[in-house]
Amino acid sequence: MHMLLRLGLICVAAFCLVSLPAPSPASADGPFVEEFDFVIDHDFVANCGDFNIFADGSGRNRITTFFDREGNPIRLTFQGRYRGTLTNSVTGAYVLDAPSVANITVDLVVGTQTNIGAFFTVTLPGRGAILIDAGRIVFDGSGLPIFIAGPHRPPDESIGILCDALR
């Protein structure tokens, strides 16, 4: 569920940006920028049968709102970076989840959302990359994907890969 959770958080963050009250029209002279750090502290990711996977890590997000001449928000950008580990709850074996990078643009006029980045870059020490989810996905105004490029796996398959790597 960690993959779904992080992707969900990215999408929720973008959705929340759309529903946030717009900064005052006085901000129309330039974009409004917010930056914040976050920490994931031993969050449950998945049940692999005989063990659970937990995530630990940290990152930084930057949200920029752009305005038209009248001060109306017209575009949002979300840039996020994350570095962390995914750990077997029984053995302590771990994989690295780093770097994970998301660049999301929401066109508030048209209603589209474009996600670009290396959303999951999971490596096993000594073995290299075991799971990479990267590329570009464009969603239409209703949230359906209309363009997908790059390696993307279904969430259940991603969890299976992580469980196998941490056995």
As a whole number, mean pLDDT of residues 7-18 equals: 42
Assigned token pair, 125: 């020490």
Number of domains the chain is built from: 1
Give me the percent of the chain exceeding a pLDDT of 90.
76
Measure the CA–CA gap between 16 and 140, rounded to whole angstroms.
17
Do residues 153 and 130 lie in contact, with contact meaning Cβ atoms separated by under 8 Å? no
Q: Which residue has the tokens 């890590």?
A: 57
Long-range residue pairs from 13-16, CB within 8 A, at least 24 positions apart, any chain: 13/61, 13/63, 13/78, 13/80, 13/104, 14/76, 14/78, 14/104, 14/106, 14/113
Beta bridge partners of 122: 97, 131
Using the predicted structure, report yes or no on whether residue 44 has a pLDDT greater than 80: yes
pLDDT digits over 93-116, tens only?
999 999 999 999 999 999 999 999
The pTM of this model reads 0.76
Domain housing 122: 2-166
